[in-house]
Amino acid sequence: MSRKVILTIAPTGRMGTKESTPHLPVTPQEIADDVVACWEAGASVAAIHARRPDGLATCDPEVYSEINRLIRERSDIVLNNSTGGGVHGDMPVRLNDDLWELNWQERIRGLDGVGAEMCTLDSHTVTASFGGKELLVTTTPSRSRWLAEQMQARGIKPEWEVFSLAHILQDLTTLCAEGLDVAPYFVNIVLGGEKGFQGALPYTPKILQTMVEYLPEGAIFNVSGIGPAQLPATTHALLLGGHIRVGLEDNIYYARGELATNLQLTQRAVRIITELGMELAKPAEARQMMGLRQLEAVPA
């Protein structure tokens, strides 16, 4: 029997705008339409960032709930809502003349989106550089613990997002060992973001191999590659026994100078998975692999 692969689509993300690519979905209907099209093509998880009516970032639970509802009416894809927020919109608050922070109280509102089965848990602090600003993304040890506790209380599975080896060996490993998540732990290794995030690592085969080797026992891993790292990093992940994420959150180009759509990136990933002799996990199979509850009613 061939190996099952969980394919995640990340349609929007925290940074992009319609100015960077007209293909970026920002309204609840646009996001839902893209997610459903990618689900039909083979994606089994949707990593969702919400946007305000002006297209900028928000973690408003009402917006998340609307996105989740529109997707769930047409698809049984796994719904993963972000607590990372974004670098514009509701998120940045100024600390001094040179430094900004992504508003923690706004970020955590993403936990309350109705229908979320998973939420991202970035159990680390990094600095994002965007639009001439330096923005702290502050998830201290106490905040990481609080997020894990809140997700556990809500029946939400964490997606542990890591940018470096330290992110694996510190809070992720500690909190999982304490029982604030139960195996299988779903770890998303993000590589290629070193130019935008202080504390992030580039993709190289050796770096990815090393990070996989240090995952805690009981973890399954997903790989996201930023920009031109998306294609090689995700292909390498498949060869290492992992799962993959694609989408305009991570990469807006299909090839040099050619803007992509979420569907194009999904279809290419599907071709690579199947050409390597692997099979796409259906959403119900992905839930079983990640330790999620199955849906009581599956949309037709």
Instruction: Delimit the domains of the chain by residue range.
Output: 4-290
CA separation for the pair 168, 287 (Å, rounded):
23
Report the residue count for the chain: 300
Predicted local distance difference test score (pLDDT) of residue 152:
97
Q: Which of 71, 28, 33, 75 is nearest to 263 (CA)?
A: 33
Provide the pLDDT for residue 1.
67
pLDDT by residue for the chain (300 residues), tens only, comes to 689 999 999 999 999 999 999 999 999 999 999 999 999 999 999 999 999 999 999 999 999 999 999 999 999 999 999 998 899 999 999 998 789 999 999 999 999 999 999 999 999 999 999 988 999 999 999 999 999 999 999 999 999 999 999 999 999 999 999 999 999 999 999 999 999 999 999 999 999 999 999 999 999 999 999 999 999 999 999 999 999 999 999 999 999 999 999 999 999 999 999 999 999 999 999 999 999 999 987 776
Domain 4-290, second-level architecture: Alpha-Beta Barrel (3.20)
Q: Which residues contact 154 (CB under 8 A, 6 or more apart)?
A: 111
Can you tell me which residue has the tokens 């390498």?
236
Q: What is the rounded CA–CA span in Å between residue 14 and residue 34?
A: 17
Strands 57-58 and 50-51: antiparallel
Question: Which residues on neighbouring strands pair with residue 223, listed in sequence order?
Answer: 189, 244
Q: Which residues touch 203 (CB under 8 Å, ≥6 apart)?
A: 191, 192, 225, 229, 232, 233, 236
* Residues 6+ positions from 212 with CB-CB distance below 8 Å: 189, 221, 240, 242
For 130, list phi and psi in degrees, rounded to 5: -155, 135
Q: How far apart are the first and last CA of the chain?
A: 28
